[in-house]
Amino acid sequence: MKSGHSLRQLLLGWLLPPLVLLLVAGAITAYQITLSAATQAYDRALLDGALALAKQIRVENGQTVLDLPLIAQQVLLTDKYDHIYYLVQGSHGEFIAGHRGLPLPEEKPLEENRIYYDGFFHGEKVRIAALFIPSETGQVHVLMGETLVKRNKLIWEILLGMLAPQVLLVAATIGLVWFGVKRGLAPIERLRNEIAARSQHDLRPVQGEQAPTEVQPMVEALNTLLEKLGTVMGAQQRFISDAAHQLRTPLAALQAQVDLALHQKNDGDLRLTLQHLFAATERTVHLANQLLTLARAEPAGHLPGEMQPVDLSQIAQECAEEWVPRALVKNIDLGFELEPARIIGIPLLIRELLANLLDNAIRYTPVGGNITVRTIAQAHASVLEVEDNGPGIPTSDTDAVFERFYRIKGSPGDGCGLGLAIVREIARTHSALAESKIPPTGQGTLMRAIFPVLPDSLPDTPT
């Protein structure tokens, strides 16, 4: 499961290249400064040697000679690190004294009578100081050269002295990043351990106060997710206990009636029991269906992606086909007053909501009554109404009827008290409000669901 970059790699990737670049640039600058300083100092010493030699030049009998006593020669030409070479040459290029073949300057000095240059002698690099001395016989060249051992030694010593701390600095940076990241991530590691050690039932918020500020938003997001999960699990738990509690009695009754039917010998009794059995089965199926619908209607059971633009009037029209015949059975006049009213919703659930309102209206309105289904487009809301002129709901019960399993005492039929609870859950899923009112006529029930209106910017794709 390892992918992406480690924080360490990332930090080192950012820090190291500029550090190494600085190190190299520093080394180059230091090398150049040191080289020029060392060259100047040692060139000066070389020139002093050449000047000392020049003092020993004489002209005897028209001949230029170098009068260098052995002791002076030893002092001049001995060095702890380098080989020292010299050459004295007459104005016509004639050899006077010293080491033959020591390279001559390629150019003449412009102003002063001295010049410094690099050359090769006996297979080694040498640095040479050349003096041009006027004499009676013309110009004499005095060359003093040395190998570069002590110069290089000095350069390396200075360079190492400067670079060592910088190399240590880079090493320290790597160390700091390495251990710093480990230390910085320790609170996250503790969080990880806390979450990993939890059971799947423990949905308490994660304690993230110790975590670095940068990680806090992640902890908060995780806690929000845990809270949502808790709501979903709570809804499922409620469904399971509701279902278990509510289904136990009707299922036991079914079993008892089947048992009774099995022991009945008389055809007439058997038929009656079977009729009861059929009614009881119908009620149980209805209860199971209502329970499942309620579970599906919970806001926690839906993803935002399931929502789509829906026209309430279109859904009402589609329902008419199914509900008009049922109303006719009771000689009820089921009318529709529809205008386009768009919302964002789940069509299946909106149909379910309307079905429950219509089922109640037809069920509780006496024979020969009136029911009207309305869709209204308001400025900020789309409204779905089902109005009947039945017995109405007492004002003291207008809220309670939306509770699960709540039925008004003496209500006809054998509903299970879940219809309006389903309506309220579906409304909540759609951020809508479900309410029960007394119609303007003062008689019957006006059930209303008020939905937030569909923003104009959304595409119009009605179901």
Question: Does position 419 bind ligand ATP by CB under 6 A?
Answer: yes
Residue 61 token pair: 């009998």
Q: Report if residue 144 touches ligand ATP, rule: CB under 6 A.
A: no
Q: CB of residue 184 vs Mg ion: minimum separation in angstroms?
A: 60
Nearest approach, Cβ of 242 to ligand ATP (angstroms)?
Answer: 12
CB proximity list for 210: less than 8 A, separation 6 or greater: 187, 190
Site for ligand ATP contains 154 (CB under 6 A)? no
Which CB atom, from 8 or from 238, has the smaller least distance to ligand ATP?
Answer: 238
> How many residues in the shown chain lie near Mg ion by CB under 5 A?
3
Q: Are strands 370-377 and 333-337 parallel, antiparallel or unpaired?
A: parallel
**Tokens in use for 426?**
């579906």
Q: Contact, 418 vs 290, CB < 8 A?
A: yes
Nearer to Mg ion among residue 273 and residue 293 (C-beta):
293
Instruction: Tell me whether residue 66 is exposed, middle or buried, using C-beta atoms within 10 angstroms of its C-beta: 0 to 12, 13 to 18, 19 or more.
Output: middle
> Quick one: 371 or 450, whose CB is closer to ligand ATP?
371
Segment near ligand ATP (CB under 6 A); pick from 111-119, 124-132, 334-342, 360-368: 360-368
Residue 446 lies near ligand ATP (rule: CB under 6 A): no
Question: If contact means CB under 5 to 8 A according to the sort of partner, which of Mg ion, ligand ATP, none does residue 115 touch?
Answer: none
Cα(411)–Cα(399) distance, integer angstroms: 16
Q: Which of 181, 408, 433, 438 binds ligand ATP (CB under 6 A)?
A: 408
* Residue 162 CB partners (closer than 8 Å, separation 6+): 26, 27, 30
Rounded to a whole number of angstroms, the minimum distance from the CB of residue 365 to ligand ATP is: 7
Contact region with ligand ATP (CB under 6 A), list: 46-54, 268-276, 313-321, 408-416: 408-416
Cα 460 to Cα 306, 344, 463, distances in angstroms: 16, 10, 10
Among 97, 353, 390, 434, binds ligand ATP (CB under 6 A): 390
Task: Determine contact, residues 362/330, Cβ cutoff 8 Å.
Answer: yes
Please identify, using beta-carbon distances, which residue of 49 and 250 lies nearer to ligand ATP: 250
What residue 102 binds from Mg ion, ligand ATP, none (CB within 5 to 8 A, per partner kind)?
none
Stretch that binds ligand ATP, among 126-134, 216-224, 413-421, 454-462 (CB under 6 A): 413-421
Answer with the entry of Mg ion, ligand ATP, none that 251 interacts with (C-beta below 5 to 8 A by kind): none
Q: How many Å apart are CA 425 and CA 428, to the nearest integer? A: 5
Binding-site member from 250, 347, 369, 419 for Mg ion (CB under 5 A):
419
For residue 60, give the amino acid letter.
E
Residue 411 CA to residue 417 CA, distance in Å, equals 10
Residue nearest Mg ion, Cβ-based: 419
Residue number with CB closer to ligand ATP (101 or 394): 394
Among Mg ion, ligand ATP, none, partner that 97 touches (CB below 5 to 8 angstroms by kind): none
Q: Per CB under 5 A, does 390 bind Mg ion?
A: no
Partner that binds at residue 130, options Mg ion, ligand ATP, none, CB closer than 5 to 8 Å by kind: none
Q: Which of 415, 425, 426, 451 binds ligand ATP (CB under 6 A)?
A: 415
Instruction: Compose the 328-367 pattern: x for residues touching Mg ion by CB under 5 A, - for all others.
Output: --------------------------------x-------
Does the footprint of ligand ATP cover residue 323 (CB under 6 A)?
no
Which residues contact ligand ATP (rule: CB under 6 A)? Answer: 290, 356, 360-361, 364, 388, 390-391, 393, 401, 406-408, 411, 415-421, 445
Which residues contact Mg ion (rule: CB under 5 A)? Answer: 360, 415, 419
